[in-house]
Structure 1
Amino acid sequence: MENRGIFTLDGITGMLIATVLLLSILVGLTVWGLGVQQGSAANFYQIQNEKEIKMISTENATHKIDVK
């Protein structure tokens, strides 16, 4: 085990590969999240018959109507 080098995968090279991989995952998830947020911000909805909404009911989703 005398073949230790600074540019092996458990040295600087491995650290740089891991850092670049983590930063690229971070950038990808950030871009994806911003796209989802912009898509949701442009999707407006209106609630109809507010008085008929029950606290626990599976029919509550029918009161939401997309305006767009």
Structure 2
Amino acid sequence: MENRSVFSLDGITGMLIATVLLLSILAGLTMWGLGVQQGSAANFYQIENEKEIKMISTDNAAHWVEVK
């Protein structure tokens, strides 16, 4: 004989726990993303030596400088 319950972790309670967990992860990642975006929006940069930038090069990062 099987013991079945509507409020076991396989039923409504498990679904609600999973939903709350996923929504809290979504809210946390959204807040973290907004914080990163606001921090990046305040940092301006300027490109130096535009003529020396190559299409595929790892040295391209040396051409930008943060403006303070």
TM-score normalized by the length of structure 1: 0.90
Q: Distance in 2 between matches of 1:56 and 1:6?
A: 59
SS of the aligned residue for 1:33 comes to helix
Q: Distance in 2 between matches of 1:16 and 1:56?
A: 49
Q: How does 1:10-21 map to 2 (within 5 A)?
A: 10-21=10-21
Q: CA RMSD in A?
A: 1.1
TM-score normalized by the length of structure 2: 0.90
SS of the aligned residue for 1:10 comes to coil
Identity of aligned residues (%): 84
Structure 1: unaligned runs, 5 residues or longer: none
Q: Distance in 2 between matches of 1:11 and 1:24?
A: 20
